[in-house]
A and B are shown apart, each in its own frame.
Chain A
Amino acid sequence: GQQVMQIPQYQHVQEGEDFTTYCNSSTTLSNIQWYKQRPGGHPVFLIQLVKSGEVKKQKRLTFQFGEAKKNSSLHITATQTTDVGTYFCAGNSNSGYALNFGKGTSLLVTP
């Protein structure tokens, strides 16, 4: 079955440094989504990427979807303490089916 791998598992940065998490799928995805889960909270939808090579930005966050639609990345520029949390990628091979989540990258930002 489809597997979604995500690295790194943990990342500790100083406030102001950049951060990137990477997601790879064993199969071609119809779309990929990114979620953020704050400590003690539930996953919150950030963005969905559908097109091959797509790049989307949300303020300091940049999301990319690979040309082969098998990998994706989330890059945060100049991290802030409010960025703390676990970032999950999630994909599905068939549009409309339930999501396969990566293991997540836990980001810690120290002032």
Chain B
Amino acid sequence: SAVISQKPSRDICQRGTSLTIQCQVDSQVTMMFWYRQQPGQSLTLIATANQGSEATYESGFVIDKFPISRPNLTFSTLTVSNMSPEDSSIYLCSVGDAQGRIDTQYFGPGTRLTVL
């Protein structure tokens, strides 16, 4: 399975600011996804990060609030813009199986965000 790292691991931010989260994979992967997990809740898909094109957002998530970059097959960023306390959550990137099977996903360690 791929080794996935995320930066930062946690952050405390002020309302109205933005935070960019990085996701780095140790091998090229076709599919990368960004999820949000609010405290004690399940995982909600934010978007699929597409290499070389705009991300595909799920219902309830928009590009202005969560811009995503995917410059190559090993790296992606998620920005949480104009943050409010409701954005406090764990943000996780995941990747499809490194061997090309994209059904199975492997998750990064997550970024724990607190917005004051």
Contact = CB atoms under 8 A, between A and B. Distances in A.
- Are both chains from one complex? yes
Interface of A: 1, 30-31, 33, 35, 41-45, 48, 88, 90, 92, 95-96, 98-104
Contact of A103 (B42, B108, B109, B110): B42
A102 B102 CA distance: 19
B43 A88 contact: yes
B104 A98 contact: no
A48 B103 contact: yes
12 contacts: A31-B103, A33-B104, A33-B105, A35-B107, A42-B109, A45-B106, A92-B103, A96-B31, A96-B102, A99-B45, A100-B45, A104-B42
Contacts of B107: 35, 42-44
Looking at chain B, what size class is its interface with the partner chain?
20 to 34
Nearest to A30: B103
A98 B103 contact: no
Nearest to B40: A106
A75 B49 CA distance: 34
B53 interface: no
Contact of B45 (A35, A48, A88, A98): A98
A102 B92 contact: no
Contact of B104 (A41, A42, A48): A48
Interface in B38-62: 41-45, 48, 58-59
Given A42-B108, A48-B103, A92-B103, A98 B48 contact: yes
